[in-house]
Amino acid sequence: MKTIIPPLDYNAALNRILEFIRDKVSDAGLSGVVIGLSGGLDSSVTVTLATKALGRDKVYGLIMPDKRTTPKEDVDDAIEVAEMLGIEYYIIEISGIYDSIAASIPFYNPDNNIANGNIRARTRMIILYYFANINRLMVCGTSDKSELLLGYYTKYGDGGTDILPIGDLYKTQVRVLGKKIGLPERIYLKPSSPRLWPGQMAEDELGVSYEIIDTILYYYFDLMMDEKWIHKHTGISSELISKIITRVLRNEHKRVLPPIPKVGGFSLSTEWWMPYMPAIP
């Protein structure tokens, strides 16, 4: 089996991302960004890039562990990155909030990992937006291109953000960039996990490594090669290639606004564009 890290001009990508962050914050007239820090690869790369773009006084980190699902080493790593960058950060334990929500739901099911894990992701987003609202900040998301294509995030949870600076970088590219910008090795090589339930690991849940995933995604979407070509040139099984592509297509609903049925003249679903310029009579 032959896998690749999709090729990238990392210096150009770095400059473009830094410019993007500065432009979006400036265009919105806001004071900076707030980022949820997990101690993992994506959030550590994102907060480092934001600090390089804006300066440490305009970047804030919220570390939001749940004591039942978040390992202590993740919290320690998040603190280390924040202190290395010199940004202001807060630690907010969310297990009490989770318990309050669960106790208020008459149909709460303690055995549904996905539904209950999503409570944690959406709780964190509520806190991030509250902090952003009271401090005139932008919520800076941390999802990468692999996760966005796969739909491997929580809709209106970690998927609910204002900007996604690393959203056009595959997971394997983010690891390379993490090394280039000086993150500790244990962070840029750390296995990915949303930590939404005890023992959750991304590659175990997906059933395949990101090296294989990114190879498939790059050849299929960037180079527009068909599944037969990918199988022939990589040795990756046809069944696995089909599984990954099917997952991307099935999760399109996560990447678009909710659909609206057209019943009148002007439709936000099919005829909206910006900047809006009304016809001159």
pLDDT tens across 115-174, in order?
999 999 999 999 999 999 999 999 999 999 999 999 999 999 999 999 999 999 999 999
Domain ranges of the chain: 10-202
Whether residue 158 contacts residue 36, with contact meaning beta carbons closer than 8 Å, is answered with yes
Confidence (pLDDT) at 107 = 97
Going from the C-alpha of 273 to that of each of 27, 84, 221, the distances in angstroms are 18, 42, 25
The arrangement of secondary structure in 10-202, i.e. its CATH architecture, is 3-Layer(aba) Sandwich (3.40)
Confidence (pLDDT) at 278 = 61
Taking 70 as the pLDDT cut, the residues of the chain under it are: 193-205, 274-281
How many CA within 13 A on the CB side of residue 21? 31
- Over the stretch 82-103, which tens digit does the pLDDT of each residue have? 999 999 999 999 999 999 999 9
